A and B are shown apart, each in its own frame.
Chain A
Amino acid sequence: QKEVEQNSGPLSVPEGAIASLNCTYSDRGSQSFFWYRQYSGKSPELIMFIYSNGDKEDGRFTAQLNKASQYVSLLIRDSQPSDSATYLCAVNPPSSASKIIFGSGTRLSIRP
């Protein structure tokens, strides 16, 4: 079992709709969770981070964390073509000390 798993996609969402990206992790003791956006040929850019169960909202983005079920999700409201990118989930499991583990990413495509 991979430490951090994401559906590779592509996930196709119509413009203006809600895009939902999911991530599961294996280490139940994980405390920190991050979402990054990566455009083709560019480096990852931090979008959100969340530490506590529940929802955290920032503009059109909402991160949701459920530690009991070991998943974290990212919702993008009012999706725009500029949201088309690969989204990386990252987790800091205690078993890896200071190392952050990245998922392989979900490719999101917003169709006009």
Chain B
Amino acid sequence: KAGVTQTPRYLIKTRGQQVTLSCSPISGHRSVSWYQQTPGQGLQFLFEYFSETQRNKGNFPGRFSGRQFSNSRSEMNVSTLELGDSALYLCASSSGHGDGNQPQHFGDGTRLSIL
């Protein structure tokens, strides 16, 4: 069974640009969560989607947005990029009804660097 697939793996952008990251969950998983991880910081929760609906959102500015498609694939978008957005962005999917009782499985992440 294929794992969570994130594309691209690496991305270099400049301040003010926007970026879209993609995540394909494990087949059959309908819950997808996004996290930001920076050196010295823990996993910072961005948002969680289940059946195309955003159910939870972390404490990030409106520049960070996401969506989920009918096939459970998800994208997140960051607009007006800032230097502080440089981070590893992780996507995780889980099975069941997305109630948080099932473990999350992470993709390899997208490493975003802002110049």
Contacts and interface: CB of A to CB of B under 8 A. Distances in A.
Interface of A: 31-32, 34, 36, 42-46, 49, 51, 88, 90, 92, 96-105
A39 to B, nearest CB: 12
Given A44-B106, A98-B55, A103 B42 contact: yes
13 contacts: A32-B100, A32-B101, A36-B106, A42-B108, A46-B105, A88-B42, A92-B99, A98-B55, A98-B99, A99-B33, A100-B33, A104-B41, A105-B42
B100 A96 contact: yes
Contacts of B48: 98-99
A43 B101 CA distance: 20
Nearest to A4: B42
Interface string B12-52: 00000000000000000001010100000111010010100
Among A88, A102, A104, max chain B CB count under 10 A is at A102
B90 A100 contact: no
B100 A92 contact: yes
A32 B100 CA distance: 8
